[in-house]
């Protein structure tokens, strides 16, 4: 049985769900351990049967409480909940979770084949450490920024090796009509800079656009108030939504952060995007945007006059249908099609 462990954010969980469905489609038994992060159950329960998943309590970062993190994150992999699953495990895939160290050490101690999935264009610190003993490193975007020892065992899997969305119904849609459909995505928890900036910018296009703005749950009231203050009527503000991909596919323009999963879904849908990388996430969001090159319009919010650059980029896409089509085609071309057979060969050899 293949054990998949994931957590951190939906950006980690969605690739794990996709791997699960890929294994299921090839009659390979798999089991998920999911850290209880925001909206995890909603996403996981829509894809994975209840008897194939267990949830682990959310574990704060070691920066906040190193003793709690070590005690719960490390020794968790020797408790009864894990033991009942571990007896059948013959290989492990790690997608990112605060429980990674315990998983890694137990897998190494028992000489289980250990695999990683890296969704970003640059590797996180834990993945760099764990990659030393990994049989293979599956990756979702580019491998150019990976160390040499990682590139030698890197296997392209995409962040969605199996389409999990075909059986999921969208819970929200854009309305029919001739307006340009703009989707604003701030990630799982929302993006304060987008929430405060976009209502003013889009108010100048209020007669031309329909907006769906995913703000993060704690920002909903403030963002609704801002759009109302600017007299934007064709707008729907929601805190979060699952799945997001059908909305991306229905949009004409996407304004978003540069999370790997978000950009993967934008590329799958072939939609033009204005991307504002989160500036405090090390370098990975910046490099994710760089991977797609001129196929996305990237705006650095740490640069002077960034709001004016954001406004200019949005106006250009809203007002130029040909530009939207060109950029949508370019971003789709940047996403390679993964080989399910190569993934399974690397995993099951």
What the block records as the tokens of 118 is 């890296």
What pLDDT is recorded for position 188?
75
Query: Quick one: pLDDT at residue 65?
Result: 59
Q: Does residue 76 carry a pLDDT above 70?
A: no
213 and 203 in contact (C-beta within 8 Å)?
no
- 153, 147 contact by CB (below 8 A): no
* Mean pLDDT within 320-347: 93
- Taking the mean position of all CA atoms in its chain, how far away is CA 169? 19
Average pLDDT for 12-27: 95
Task: Beginning with the edge strand found earlier in the chain, give each strand of the sheet holding 297-298 in spatial order.
Answer: 235-238, 209-214, 180-185, 253-256, 273-275, 297-298
Instruction: Assign a CATH topology to domain 2-165+336-348.
Output: Rossmann fold (3.40.50)
What CA–CA distance (Å, rounded) separates 309 from 170?
Answer: 32
The model's pTM is 0.92
CA distance to 12, 20, 46, 180, 225, per residue, from 170 (Å) = 21, 21, 12, 20, 26
Per-chain mean pLDDT for the chain: 90
The whole-number pLDDT of residue 74 equals: 56
Q: Which phi and psi (to 5°) does residue 308 adopt? A: -70, -40
Q: What is the pLDDT of residue 191?
A: 87
What's the pLDDT tens digit per position in 261-305? Answer: 999 999 999 999 999 999 887 788 999 999 999 999 999 988 889
Nearest to 254 by CA among 172, 182, 326: 182
CA distance linking residue 285 with residue 250, whole number of Å: 24
Distance of alpha carbon 267 from alpha carbon 187, whole angstroms: 16
78 has a pLDDT exceeding 70: no
Q: Which of 211, 228, 219, 168 is nearest to 193 (CA)?
A: 219
Q: Domain spans of the chain?
A: 2-165+336-348, 180-333
Cα–Cα distances in Å, from 197 out to 45, 147, 207, 220, 314? Answer: 34, 38, 18, 14, 12
Which CATH class for the 180-333 domain?
A: alpha beta
Q: Do 2-165+336-348 and 180-333 come out as alike in CATH topology? A: yes
Least confident stretch, 61-70, 163-172, 208-217: 61-70
């Amino acid at each position: 049985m293949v054990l998949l462990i994931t957590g951190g954010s939906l950006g980690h969980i969605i690739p794990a769900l996709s791997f699960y469905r890929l294994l299921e489609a090839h009659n390979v038994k798999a089991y998920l351990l999911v850290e209880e992060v925001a909206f995890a159950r909603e996403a996981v329960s829509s894809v994975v049967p209840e008897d194939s998943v267990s949830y682990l309590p959310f574990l704060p970062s070691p920066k906040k409480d190193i003793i709690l993190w070590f005690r719960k994150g490390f020794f968790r992999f020797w408790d009864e909940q894990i033991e009942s699953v571990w007896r059948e495990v013959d290989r492990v895939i790690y997608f990112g979770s605060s429980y990674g160290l315990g998983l890694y050490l137990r897998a190494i101690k028992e000489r289980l084949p250990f695999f990683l999935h890296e969704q970003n264009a640059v590797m996180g610190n834990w993945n760099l450490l764990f990659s030393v003993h990994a049989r293979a490193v599956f990756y979702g975007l580019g491998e150019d920024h990976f160390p040499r020892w990682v590139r030698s065992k890197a296997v392209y899997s995409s962040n969605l090796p199996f389409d999990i969305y075909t059986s999921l119904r969208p819970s929200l849609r854009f309305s029919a009509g001739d307006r340009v459909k703009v989707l604003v995505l701030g990630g799982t928890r929302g993006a304060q800079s987008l929430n405060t900036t976009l209502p003013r910018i889009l108010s100048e296009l209020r007669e031309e656009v329909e907006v769906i703005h995913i703000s993060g749950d704690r920002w909903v009231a403030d963002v609704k108030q801002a759009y109302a203050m600017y007299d934007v009527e064709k707008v729907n503000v929601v805190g979060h939504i699952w799945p997001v991909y059908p909305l991306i596919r229905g949009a004409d323009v996407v304004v978003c952060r540069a999370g790997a999963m978000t950009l993967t879904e934008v590329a799958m849908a072939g939609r033009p995007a204005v991307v504002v990388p989160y500036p405090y996430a090390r370098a990975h969001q910046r490099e994710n945007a760089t991977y797609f090159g001129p196929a996305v319009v990237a705006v650095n919010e740490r640069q002077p006059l960034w709001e004016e650059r954001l406004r200019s980029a949005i106006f250009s896409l809203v007002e130029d249908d040909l530009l939207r089509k060109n950029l949508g085609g370019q971003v789709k071309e940047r996403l390679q099609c993964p080989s399910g057979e190569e993934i399974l060969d690397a995993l099951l050899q």
